[in-house]
Amino acid sequence: METYLKDYLTMLRVERNLAVNSLDAYSRDLKRYLTYLHDETGIKTMQRIRPKHIRGFIRCLNDAHLAPASVSRVFSAIRSYHNFLTSEKLVLDNPAQLLEAPRLPRKLPEVLTVEEVDTIIAAIDRDHPMSLRDLAIIECLYSAGLRVTELCDLKLTSLLFETEMVRIIGKGSKERFVPLGAPALKMLNEYLKYLRPGLSRKGKNTGYLFLSRNGRQLTRMAVWNILKRWSGAAGITKQISPHTLRHSFATHLLEGGADLRAVQEMLGHADISTTQIYTHLDKAYLKEVHRTFHPRW
């Protein structure tokens, strides 16, 4: 069955300038979909796909207990793929056109309190050989609200000490500038002065800011493990990830009175509706304060 998948992925890479991780996700999801069509329905041409086949695949994902957000992501990839096929006149009909996307339960992201962030930072053992790097990483994630991939991709040239900002290349290769607080700048300076020079001599790193023990670019999983180690040492029982620090960054700004548009700019959200989830989170925080301190609760 000629699927034109390679053509579609090329379009995403060239025209939409998607990041490598996003391309990998599209490729993985669509290959799973096409395998299902071939193995479970016996479909041999893209022209024979009908809405019932897509619904059947989505049911299959639900039966496999795939997370609702993952099912929604797969459906979005399928619909985008069929839109491409019809727009390029590779097939006549679009079986996904009238299908509704699976509804996602509204779930507020986990956040840390200011005190919990401070506790994690205080728990980092200063005698640990990589403590300066780990401190700089956690300060950077929280101070600038970075995605973990953005942090790993930072170069030495990304730091703009003279303006106290960091230059970030986000999703879709979009550039943004975010201020860095004094604690983050201090730890970055110490890491660059006392630890990174020794790490950089151990391996090829092509100017990446944060390096592993062997002198190579730090991976996303390594950052996860760093946060897991020190949050555990701090006694934090919440299920957190590097993205939790990004959520906390946005929430604490809004709780402090920051403008929603400014937070949108710093997070690198293309659509303000994505940022607005933090206004719901802020309301949840206010309700919790009210519940805790109001005498009539």
**CATH for 5-87?**
1.10.150
Same fold, 5-87 and 114-293: no
Catalytic residue among 8, 33, 142, 278: 278
**What pTM was computed for the model?**
0.66
Q: What percent of the chain has pLDDT over 70?
A: 92
- Tell whether the model's pLDDT for residue 1 goes beyond 60: no
pLDDT in tens, 239-288: 899 999 999 999 899 888 888 889 899 998 888 877 877 776 666 665 66
Would you call 89 a catalytic residue per the annotation?
A: no
Give the pair of three-digit tokens for residue 145: 């609200």
Give the whole-angstrom CA distance, residue 213 versus residue 246. 25
pLDDT at site 293: 65
* Angle between helix 242-255 and 277-293 (nearest 10): 70
Q: Domain ranges in the chain?
A: 5-87, 114-293
Q: Is residue 187 a contact partner of residue 139, using CB atoms and an 8 Å limit?
A: yes
Catalytic residue among 82, 133, 246, 247: 246
pLDDT in tens, 88-133: 999 999 999 989 888 776 666 788 999 999 999 999 999 999 999 9
Give the pair of three-digit tokens for residue 39: 């193995």
- Write down the mean pLDDT value for the chain: 90
Would you call 201 a catalytic residue per the annotation?
A: no
Would you call 243 a catalytic residue per the annotation?
A: yes
pLDDT in tens, 127-162: 999 999 999 999 999 999 999 999 999 999 999 999
Give the whole-angstrom CA distance, residue 68 versus residue 72. 6
Catalytic residue among 53, 176, 229, 243: 243
Catalytic residue among 171, 176, 216, 220: 171
Q: How confident is the model at residue 55 (pLDDT cuts 50, 70, 90)?
A: very high
If you search the block for the tokens 């730890």, which residue do you land on?
Answer: 187
Q: Classify 42 in phi/psi space as left (phi over 0), alpha (psi -120 to 50) or beta.
A: left
Catalytic residue among 147, 196, 247, 252: 147
Q: What Cα–Cα distance (Å) separates residue 221 from each residue in 217, 226, 228, 241, 244?
A: 12, 9, 10, 10, 15
CATH class of domain segment(s) 114-293: mainly alpha
Would you call 28 a catalytic residue per the annotation?
A: no
